[in-house]
Structure 1
Amino acid sequence: MDRQIKEAIILAGGLGTRLRSAVPDLPKCMAPVAGRPFIGHVMDYLLEQGIEHFIFSLGYKHDVIEKYIDRVYGALDYVFAVEKEPLGTGGAIREACKVAEDPQVIVTNGDTMFRASVPSLSAVHVAHNALVTLGLKPMRDFDRYGIVDIDPDGRVIGFEEKQPRSSGLINAGLYGLNVTEYLASAPPSGVFSFERDFLEPRVAGGRLFGYPEDAYFIDIGIPEDYKRAQKEFL
């Protein structure tokens, strides 16, 4: 099997409530950063990493995103999967997986950037025959994120809630995902959280793996990080 995953799902259906004060009328991923929508930066990163086919999971103000992608990335291979109602991260991924062309996909958020090596994460995912491989970012002195515990082989052995920590690995929102197994084991309909309702109950199954990399990470869904992105992306 090819160890490089070539297809990506970009989750871009969120309402962006935390970012309303800074960007009142746009989906989060369309918030301008360094002169262009943030999702454009995400797209360019994924293209650099060898992704060739894109599935955009959309909801709130989806037409704004569709017009931008058609105008700027119209020559690429992509489809839109539009939610009629919010389905949570798990439901959004489920609907996007239904139109996936490949057995393995990368999943990422349209409002976060984790510049890890997709080929390296892909290789770990395929080598372990994982259900999900989580991109993990080493962090120091933080309290905003929960942490992911892995064993020496990289197998995920636990998730811990947010609390002040001196160091730890956080879930950076970049995943390798086995499409067929996900569709077979996720709830077939309804709203659910990928992180809480799908990943956490499956730790004991031993098919979740972590890929740690100390790469650049930012989440523009929080106003202070949105401001930080303006400087860093210049």
Structure 2
Amino acid sequence: MKALILAGGRGKRLKPITDYVPKPLVPIKNIPIIEWQIKYLKKFGVNEVIVCTGYKQDMIENYLNIKKINMKIRFSIEDSPLGTGGAIKKAGKMIHDKSFFVLNGDVITNIDLKQLSKKQNSIASIELQTKFGILETKDDKIIKFKEKKEISDIWMNAGIYHLEKSILKDLPLKGDIEKTVFPDYAKKGKLYIEKFRNVKWYSIDSFKDIETCSSEIEKIIK
């Protein structure tokens, strides 16, 4: 199997770090996000990764070339931002397999890709996470206070997809797959969900995310 890593964003919420290095090279326990992701993909039998880059792409390419990771790595370079849909469409020209995985460039997880691959054009989903305490109320009284990260049976996009190559023709040259093709496919009954409970999942969008993920990263990706 092959996988695309969407790594072209500027990572504005991690400024000022991302003024100097691209988000995929932001370290978690002294190892860049993208290296953790490649280890994760390798664990599930992915043998080739195409990294979709834009912002500071030369730094990402130089790091992965110097690191000599035991994985075939190619690059799809965006001269200007194409959005997730445009990035997949451009990089997809390098893929000749029937299907492939897509991974957002800031996701750290242990979601089972083999399970995801059983459905075509599928989105990995996890129960909605919240950083806040949840209140159960009756009339104007609080009857229970829960400190929990997951809200049961409300599902969120985990930023990991298993896509058929045939989807490439429907993708925009510029624009996000989440705002274009996915809504259209959902209306037509052509988009599937694979639900994952009790998994580890982090989207690295803040310094707090880095801190929290650092405490568990070695358990998540072994």
Give the TM-score normalised by structure 2: 0.83
Change over 3 Å in CA distance of 1:65–1:22 after alignment to 2: closer
Larger radius of gyration: 2
Q: 1:99 and 2:100 equivalent?
A: no
Q: How far did residue 71 of structure 1 move?
A: 1.9
Measured in 2, the distance between the counterparts of 1:218 and 1:61 equals 23
Q: 1:43 and 2:34 equivalent?
A: no
Measured in 2, the distance between the counterparts of 1:74 and 1:216 equals 24
Q: Percent identity?
A: 29
Q: 1:138 and 2:127 equivalent?
A: yes
Query: Following TM superposition, where does structure 1 have runs of at least 4 consecutive aligned residues deviating by more than 4 angstroms?
Result: 140-143
**1:147 maps to which residue?**
none
Q: How far did residue 222 of structure 1 move?
A: 2.6
Q: 1:66 and 2:61 equivalent?
A: yes
**2:108 maps to which residue?**
113
Q: How far did residue 142 of structure 1 move?
A: 6.0
- Aligned to 2:191, which of 208, 213, 221? 208
Change over 3 Å in CA distance of 1:44–1:121 after alignment to 2: same
Measured in 2, the distance between the counterparts of 1:90 and 1:222 equals 24
Deviations 1:141-168 (A, max 9, x none): 468xxxxxxxxxxxxxxxxxxxxx9431
**1:154 maps to which residue?**
none
Measured in 1, the distance between the counterparts of 2:205 and 2:20 equals 14
Q: 1:85 and 2:71 equivalent?
A: no
Measured in 1, the distance between the counterparts of 2:131 and 2:179 equals 21
Unaligned runs of 5+ in 2: 133-149
Q: CA RMSD in A?
A: 1.8
Q: How far did residue 22 of structure 1 move?
A: 4.7
User: Given that residues 110 and 200 in structure 2 are in contact (C-alpha distance below 8 angstroms), is that contact kept between their aligned partners in structure 1?
Assistant: yes
Q: How far did residue 225 of structure 1 move?
A: 1.0
User: Given that residues 171 and 180 in structure 2 are in contact (C-alpha distance below 8 angstroms), is that contact kept between their aligned partners in structure 1?
Assistant: no
Measured in 2, the distance between the counterparts of 1:81 and 1:105 equals 15
Q: How far did residue 219 of structure 1 move?
A: 0.7
Q: 1:177 and 2:156 equivalent?
A: no
**1:155 maps to which residue?**
none
Instruction: Name the aligned partner's letter for residue 115 of structure 1.
Output: N
Q: How far did residue 227 of structure 1 move?
A: 2.3
Instruction: Name the aligned partner's letter for residue 171 of structure 1.
Output: N
Measured in 2, the distance between the counterparts of 1:183 and 1:138 equals 28
**2:143 maps to which residue?**
none
Measured in 2, the distance between the counterparts of 1:90 and 1:38 equals 22
Q: How far did residue 74 of structure 1 move?
A: 4.7
Measured in 1, the distance between the counterparts of 2:80 and 2:129 equals 37
